[in-house]
Structure 1
């Protein structure tokens, strides 16, 4: 198995002092299995219960002890460690700055919070913002015309499921991939960008550094034509 969930678990194991010589590669191989077995033993599991294969109890404990993740409803680590319910999403527009330079500043902060290399994350996020919302132009902070524009009216006067914010997050996606410590509204540029990073890591297998961000997500690549993501 190779995905971002594995990478999150590996980083948690390393934080607990378990040895993974190759580091957090996102690949669940023999090194990670041995490290996870060591973690199970440290948690008090014995015999066949300490087999190096993650189970819900040991995995939840690992997340709690390190403060790096919690399990979502499917038993997978929640990458942003700040998952919200849809009811916890708010819709107040803080009036963040617009323009490409402002987007690059916000993107740097989002990279810092999500541990993405700004060399890759900043241009990718700025490109998405330019294409999705004209770099957070007030006119384009919400999409009321596409297929997501449905659901009950919420505090901003628009249907709940409309895409919003600089990188146009659907509120349900924003809630699932919300980054701990950021605002609860997708209108906040940093919060919206962080949720986007966590989403593309899970959905498109963008790696930790973001070096394959533009390759994996066409909308983030200025050398290719725009494409929904």
Structure 2
């Protein structure tokens, strides 16, 4: 009787578990199996490029810059508008930006004229804008002026701009040279004003009653003080003639 042999289950190598035999006339062809994991990877391999294109972040929005305008009304001056509607209070800068619509004379503002007084962005909050304006003003270095005719006129112009009084350097200089030749201590002791006891004094030959009536706050009460004298005289000339620039003779 034949001896029964021990039957062992043949060990299958892990290298052949992924193969399947396909019959081709008795010849077994080893074909690799495509696993489910491999198929999924192949399917999703092309997705990232599309997903990336679809999920690209939109470009950052560009701030929308808009002009801030102001329409002139009767009684307006460039100084007043600059003081109330600009961050640097500069009527000269305001005039430069709007010279094309104002014309050659900055003192002649026509009611209804639209001025550009600044720019803003729609993404800037009001509080941020006010903070920026406040910082800008607080960091301005106070101007210094020379103690001579040039410095006196420039300082007077700065005071006049703050008070809304029109006038230019040339108009002031021209009248000073005619009235006093640039001497702040000049006094007229011979004309009708002198005969009435109120002689004309200072750079622009102002009598005491006129100086007192048109004195500008913040300047000296001394009619011989150059800056106070110029500023009061220009204030008087603005009230009577529209501007010191319109004065071409005794006034």
Question: Quick check: TM above 0.5?
Answer: no
TM norm structure 1: 0.45
Structure with more of its chain in strand, by fraction: 2
The structure with the larger Rg is 2
RCO higher in structure (CA 8 A, sep ≥6): 1
